[in-house]
Amino acid sequence: IGAGPCPVRGHSNVQGDRTMGIYEKPGAAFLDKLQATYGFEPPRREGHDVVGAIGAMARGEVDVLFALGGNFAAATPDTALTHAALRRCRLTAHVSTKLNRSHLVHGEQALILPCLGRTEIDRQAGGVQGVTVEDSMSMVHISIGINPPASPQLLSEPAIVARMAAATLPDSGIDWLSLVEDYGRIREQIAQVIGGFENFEQRLRTPGGFHLRNPAREREWLTEGGRARLIAHPLAAEPASDCLQLMTVRSHDQYNTTVYGNDDRYRGIRNERRPLFICAADLQRLGLRAGERVDL
């Protein structure tokens, strides 16, 4: 039963991205803590979001795209511009659990670095490892793979990043490879830098995980006026025109750009992943019929 907006922080990896500082506009408090903990001056200049990165690549300002997962070429807006931008890079590298379209749209040189998926057993020197995820209700818990790896040659994402760091920054004073032996050591480092993750490793031992505070859930609005701001964007085209509005929605057995099955039980769809739903009045007005193939 619907009861109005639900203030969620995001999908299960928001805790692993934005909260950990993977953001093109990191705040001064985070950068100061990073500097104090590791003894280096982090860049203070803002970086690029996805759209900004596409523009920078198109202008020839980016030499390397290093993608931790995802399907950049297929998931971004303006396919033609994105593909042209990717081809201007000197190197495109993708850490991936499976092949996708982005591996075929690349720079002068290209790398595909296969990695373990979260459902696969991740065995390091310190034993089987687990990573943390956050559910829709802001609960953080440990996730440990149970399936045998698809290949004994697969590395985990942390192992790939740590090996790159060790090779690139040999004099950093950080034992990167030691962090990969036991992911709890990574979480101990996180606890020193990221607010809200104090005693990170210990709190994970609580059955069901622990809760990350979400001010919006408590009706605490972090805005200048202290009130919630609800924003409505006008439609780009008149409802009666031949230009229709396209909206994408989450479907069952699909997680972002990864498709796990061809059925969407939420909507009674079987063996199909490319359906369009259209208003009955628009269907009749445009002379279309159910099941007809169309170009977008």
DSSP characters over 197-241? -TTHHHHTTSTT-EEPP-GGGGT---STTSS-----PPPSS-TTS
Q: Can you give the pLDDT at residue 4?
A: 64
Q: Can you give the pLDDT at residue 7?
A: 67
Q: Can you give the pLDDT at residue 64?
A: 98
Overall size of the chain counted in residues: 296
- Sorting pLDDT into bands at 50, 70 and 90, what band is 10? low
Question: Which residue is associated with the tokens 């942390």?
Answer: 158
Q: For the residues 70-81, what does the mean pLDDT come to?
A: 92
Show the tokens assigned to 27.
């705040």
- Sorting pLDDT into bands at 50, 70 and 90, what band is 240? low
Q: For the residues 230-253, what does the mean pLDDT come to?
A: 78
207 φ, ψ (degrees, to nearest 5):
-55, 125
Domains of the chain: 18-217 (3.40.50.740), 233-296 (no CATH)
What is the pTM assigned to this prediction? 0.84
* 11 or 206: which leads in pLDDT: 206
* SS3 at position 83: helix
Q: Can you give the pLDDT at residue 12?
A: 56
State the burial class of residue 244 (Cβ atoms within 10 Å of its Cβ: 0-12, 13-18, 19+): middle
Q: For the residues 52-80, what does the mean pLDDT come to?
A: 95
Q: Can you give the pLDDT at residue 237?
A: 66
Whether 215 has a pLDDT exceeding 70, the answer reads yes
Q: Please name the amino acid found at residue 250.
A: R
Maximum distance among all Cα pairs of the chain, rounded to whole angstroms: 68
Q: How far apart are CA 118 and CA 111, in angstroms?
A: 21
- Sorting pLDDT into bands at 50, 70 and 90, what band is 218? confident
Closest CA to 65 of 9, 111, 133, 128: 111
Q: Can you give the pLDDT at residue 1?
A: 43
Share of the chain above pLDDT 90, in %: 62
Show the tokens assigned to 186.
């990574």
Closest CA to 22 of 171, 201, 157, 220: 157
Q: Can you give the pLDDT at residue 230?
A: 85
Q: Can you give the pLDDT at residue 256?
A: 72
Q: For the residues 238-252, what does the mean pLDDT come to?
A: 77
- Sorting pLDDT into bands at 50, 70 and 90, what band is 242? confident
Q: For the residues 27-56, what does the mean pLDDT come to?
A: 95
Q: For the residues 173-186, what does the mean pLDDT come to?
A: 97
CB contact at 8 A, 116 and 97: yes
Average pLDDT, the chain: 90
Q: For the residues 240-249, what does the mean pLDDT come to?
A: 78
Spatial strand order of the sheet with 91-96 comes to 64-68, 91-96, 109-114
Q: Can you give the pLDDT at residue 210?
A: 92
